[in-house]
Amino acid sequence: MRKKILIAKLGLDGHDRGARIVARAFRDAGYDVVYTGIRQSPEMVVNTALQEDVSVIGISILSGAHLVLIKKLLELMEEKNLKIPVVVGGIIPPQDIPKLKEMGVAEVFGSGTPTSKIVAFVNKILGDKYDT
């Protein structure tokens, strides 16, 4: 069974170049990638994750609304009993990284993080559950 990841742009942020680059890196690493596109709500992301039966959610956010939107996303995931890792990337102030991790985010990747590091982290947290 191949690994499947959902890449989403949460909130009103309309810049998706980074998300598309990350999605391509996961595809090249052997993942099935579901890319939702821009301006997704937490509800839309959770519903897509459930419909597509993904193993990981990757959120790209540049708008500054990360604390509010990620909190809502994680609350909805809990309500729907969706227990999969969430990784976040984008423009995240350093002081907000511990807050996101306390909420339940598996890892936060800042702008400019090599895609190989992001893919390696996700491979590690998924372990041997999947073929690559």
CATH at 124: 3.40.50.280
Query: At how many degrees (to 10) do helices 115-126 and 17-28 cross?
Result: 60
- The pLDDT tens digits for 43-82 are 999 999 999 999 999 999 988 889 999 999 999 999 999 9
Q: Is 94 left (phi over 0), alpha (psi -120 to 50) or beta?
A: alpha
User: What pLDDT is attached to residue 70?
Assistant: 97
Structural domains in the chain (count) = 1
User: What pLDDT is attached to residue 132?
Assistant: 42
Host domain of residue 121 = 4-129
Of the listed ranges 13-17, 60-64, 122-126, the least confidently predicted one is 13-17
pLDDT at 14 over 90: no
